[in-house]
Structure 1
Amino acid sequence: MKNILLHLRIPFSFFLMPVYWFALSQTNHANTGISIGVFILLHLLIYPASNAYNSYYDKDEGSIGGLENPPPVSKELFYVAWALDILAIIIAYFLSGWILALALFIYSSISKAYSNDKIRLKKYPILSWITVGIFQGAFTYLTVIQALDNVSLRDLMQEKYLFPAVLSSFNLLGFYPMTQIYQHEEDAKRGDLTMSRLLGIRGTFLFTAGIFLLVTAGFFFFFQEKEIFDFSAFIVYLLVMSPVLIFFNVWFLKVLKNEQLADYKHTMQLNFLGSICLNVFFVLLFLSN
């Protein structure tokens, strides 16, 4: 049981939490009960199920996201992953309706296609990168918006929903290769040509920097007329995210001298710092509305 709990990697859900807070900050007086329910469904059921399913098929011996020394996996982990997904979908139906239930079903199905050895999207660098970016970003953002504001699927296609959804995806598209940067050896053993392996260590840093320049430009336009407690939302964004920028650049300079420093420890530090800063910013944005 302990090994199963470890492979659920529930704390790892914190890294995906900014998408939820961003969506919540853009809702119009969302129902508190549904807001809490959707939060639980995503972060305590759907994401852990995805982690467990991925761990079952990867059978990593080296460090993975949220687990420096992953324990052996068992068949029970496979069943737990399925049980959590099914439970989440059932609860979603009664909490918000068929749209949320369908959205979680689609998300969990894509997650399984990412890891399952018969399909294994993970071994295709660009396809897996785009898939993760879309479904952990825009798809999740729109799912939360729809459930919390009861938005029709047609109305969900409006620019006011799609633009921040796209920004959410680009955030993930930037972070995702960095989460793979220390796993090149493990991924090579399984024959998975991940985005980070395709780019190389230095290329991963440069690619991520380029994506985040685009994200920053996107947030500049999105936050032009928005304020957080009477301060420009974009300026607050820059200030809150500045520790991430500093850490990223200092780490990159170290890696240029020694690529062995592109390791699990620094990757998790960047992920944790980035998640803290984004969560803080979006919570502030939510509280200021």
Structure 2
Amino acid sequence: MLLENLRSTFFHLRFNVSLAFLPIFLWGYALTEADINRNFIYGLLVLHFLIYPAINGVYAYFDGRKGVVYGLRNVKPASKFTLIISLLLLFVGVYLSTKINTAYFGVVISLVVLSFLFSHPSTGIKTKPFYAILTLALTYGLLGFIAGWVCAFDLKSLLNPFSIGGALSSAGFAGGLYTLSLVYRISEDSNLTGSLFIEKLGSAATFKFSKIILLVSGVIATVVIAAKFTLYELIGVIIYFLFGFIGIERFEKNFYLQKEWQNYKTVVSINLTNSILLSIYLIFRILMVNYLFID
């Protein structure tokens, strides 16, 4: 019984989701062009190995969904055991965030509050497309970016056009990619409950919205990179974004031909590929700045 609860809890903590948003934190730190410091290491670990997994576990508990994905993976819905483990991780993460700096602590608290409001059924946020996507954009996108930034500088230094552009692109990417990553839940064989905004949007509107917001965010990010980074990086990012949009177009065409489990695997593949490639690039850039190979 304990092993089953642990297995279920580990699944619901969704470390793959935490990894998917790692580039946003790294993007925030990379734009500061600061050397690697203690706050950067601690901030990354606290956010992506404690706070995000805990939030995922709390969301899974309130969601309580039974679907094809859970059945095929033989994973039971999140239980009180999952909730307790998630809350413990959350408390540890919040406590450790106080050891980084005040601004980082404020970001973490804001993220936790917004995530609870999104997750709890009584607020109704996750059932309303506009408010749900806005909340996701603010939490994983804007606050995730700011978390990376304040590991190097204070909030006042964020108030310049290119840093604001970086923050806005992060919010757009988070809102667009998270919305797209949920589309598998409205596949042909999905168990619809009416409790999630993606069901009201529908698959066609989901793909349309995601492509528009990702395009706008990509343009903003490209402008920031053109101003702050090298020409080679700019060319590489443009090529990467083009391939990304081709991948989304292909997913949309195949979506209506696949079952929920297949669409879920496609979503995971897109998120992990995107996260790994962008994280490698951004970590490499941060290292190059740290060791003075680039300005």
Range of TM-score over shorter length: 0.7 to 0.9
Which stretch has the larger CA shift, 11-20 or 73-82? 73-82
Shift of 1:210: 1.6
- SS, match of residue 27 in structure 1: coil
Deviations 1:249-278 (A, max 9, x none): 22223346x364772122222222222333
- Runs (4 or more) in structure 1 with deviation over 4 Å come to 259-262
Name the residue aligned to 1:171.
Answer: 173
Name the residue aligned to 2:103.
Answer: 99
- Label 1:68 to 1:239 Cα distance change in 2 as closer, same or farther (>3 A): farther
The aligned amino acid for 1:38 is G
Please, what TM-score do these two structures have when normalized by structure 1? 0.86
Shift of 1:142: 1.2
Shift of 1:282: 2.5
Shift of 1:175: 0.8
Unaligned 5+ segments in structure 1 are none
Name the residue aligned to 2:57.
Answer: 52
Once residues 131 and 227 of structure 1 are traced to their aligned partners in structure 2, the CA distance between those partners, rounded to angstroms, is 30
2:171 is aligned with 1:150: no
Which stretch has the larger CA shift, 263-272 or 167-176? 263-272
The aligned amino acid for 1:114 is F
2:202 aligned to which of 188, 200, 203: 200
Provide the aligned C-alpha RMSD in A. 2.5
Name the residue aligned to 1:232.
Answer: 232
Name the residue aligned to 2:139.
Answer: 135
Name the residue aligned to 1:219.
Answer: 221
- SS, match of residue 122 in structure 2: coil
The aligned amino acid for 1:20 is F
- Label 1:198 to 1:285 Cα distance change in 2 as closer, same or farther (>3 A): farther
2:122 aligned to which of 118, 132, 139: 118
2:8 is aligned with 1:6: no
How many residues end up aligned between the 2 structures?
280
Please, what TM-score do these two structures have when normalized by structure 2? 0.85
Once residues 240 and 233 of structure 1 are traced to their aligned partners in structure 2, the CA distance between those partners, rounded to angstroms, is 10
Unaligned 5+ segments in structure 2 are 1-5, 290-295
Name the residue aligned to 1:71.
Answer: 76
Name the residue aligned to 2:3.
Answer: none
- Label 1:64 to 1:175 Cα distance change in 2 as closer, same or farther (>3 A): farther
- Label 1:98 to 1:219 Cα distance change in 2 as closer, same or farther (>3 A): closer
The aligned amino acid for 1:271 is N
| Partners of 1:241 and 1:278 within 8 A in 2 | no
The aligned amino acid for 1:116 is H
- Label 1:63 to 1:24 Cα distance change in 2 as closer, same or farther (>3 A): farther
Which stretch has the larger CA shift, 119-128 or 162-171? 119-128
